[in-house]
Amino acid sequence: MRGIIFTEFTTFAEEAFGMVAVQDALDRCDLASGGGYTAVGNYPYAELEAILTALLAAHPDVDAEKALYDFGFWLAGRFKTLYASFFAPHDNAMSFLDSIDGHIHTEVRKLHPDAVPPQVLLARETDDRYHLTYQSHRPLAAVAIGLTAGSLAAFGGDWTITASETTEGGRAMTLIMTRDKAT
Ligand code: HEM
């Protein structure tokens, strides 16, 4: 998995749990990479799971799905800064979300043949109701829901996720988004 996900996740975790907690978790994991991630590297996905497991072991009050959702929401804001050119062509959230599969993740695959981004597809039901499906070989549906919610917020919050269903142990997910009618 691309190093950017690791560097962003450890930054997020430092903000959420503190630098000491993250360093402790990295130390306890005995990672093959040594835990010195760079954004341009590529690392086994299992290391991300190991770090999360170690962090949560020290914070039994924190729910794993909630932590992954929060990471996704936070990551959308980071992507907006780091990859502004992927946001700039879109004046609304549905247009942006519709560009993930055909443009954003396609560019990621082209630039980094070792990357395997998930399939994220948008479908219009009515002008005010769309659904989004996520399919991956990794169980990161909660990150996808958070990323979607963060993207909706980044475009002004006219849209809300009104339902979501995760299946295949987190490897597949469908969510519904509806637009709050302007009054
Ligand atoms: C500018 C916006 C975005 C960029 C630059 C981007 C880029 C990436 C990159 C580089 C990866 C790592 C893939 C790998 O190493 O195999 C990734 C994974 C991922 N992306 Fe995107 N992405 C963006 C937007 C989104 C959005 C809006 C969603 C919402 C559903 C999304 C869902 C995911 C998820 C859930 C993963 C984790 C890996 C997995 O589930 O298999 N991405 N993305």
pLDDT digits (tens, 9 = 90+) for 93-121: 999 999 999 999 999 999 999 999 999 99
Residue 117 CA: which ligand 1 atom is closest? Answer: 13
| Residues 139, 87 share a domain | yes
Both 48 and 127 in one domain: the answer is no
Ligand 1 and 118: CB distance under 6 A: yes
Q: How far away, in angstroms, is 105 Cα from ligand 1 center?
A: 7
Determine whether 100 is exposed, middle or buried from the number of CB atoms within 10 Å of its CB (0-12, 13-18, 19+): buried
CATH of the domain at 142: 3.90.1520.10
Number of domains the chain contains: 2
Of 154, 83, 151, the residue nearest 122 (C-alpha): 151
Residue range of the domain that includes 55: 3-62
User: 114 and 54: one domain?
Assistant: no
76 CA from centroid of ligand 1 (Å): 9
Q: What is the pLDDT of residue 180?
A: 83
78 and 56 in a common domain: no
122 and 47 co-located in one domain: no
Question: pLDDT digits over 19-63, tens only?
Answer: 999 999 999 998 999 889 999 999 999 999 999 999 999 999 999
Residue 86 sits in the same domain as residue 145: yes
Residue 45 Cβ contacting ligand 1 at under 6 Å: no
Angle at 70 between CA 150 and CA 129, to 5 degrees: 40
State whether 111 and 158 are in the same domain. yes
- Are residues 51 and 95 located together in one domain of the fold? no
Number of Cβ atoms within 10 Å of the Cβ of 124: 11
Does the Cβ of 138 fall within 6 Å of ligand 1? yes
93 close to ligand 1 (CB < 6 Angstrom): no
Q: Which residues have a Cβ under 8 Å from the Cβ of 143 and sit 6 or more positions away? A: 68, 69, 71, 72, 75
Q: Over the stretch 54-90, which tens digit does the pLDDT of each residue have?
A: 999 999 999 999 999 999 999 999 999 999 999 999 9
Residues 91 and 84: their CA atoms lie apart, in Å, by 13
Considering the domain architecture, whether residues 58 and 73 belong to the same structural domain is answered as no
Q: Is 28 in the pocket of ligand 1 (CB under 6 A)?
A: no
| Domain's final residue, options 44, 62, 80 | 62
Cβ of residue 130 lying under 6 Å from some atom of ligand 1:
no
Is residue 58 located within the same domain as residue 86? no
22 and 94 fall within a common domain: no
Distance (angstroms) between ligand 1 centre and the Cα of 117 equals 6
Check whether residue 80 and residue 112 sit in a common domain: yes
pLDDT of amino acid 181? 73
Query: Per-residue pLDDT for 183 more than 70?
Result: no
Could you list the beta-strand ranges (E) of 4-98: none
Q: Is 120 in the pocket of ligand 1 (CB under 6 A)?
A: yes
CA of 170 to the centre of ligand 1 (A): 15
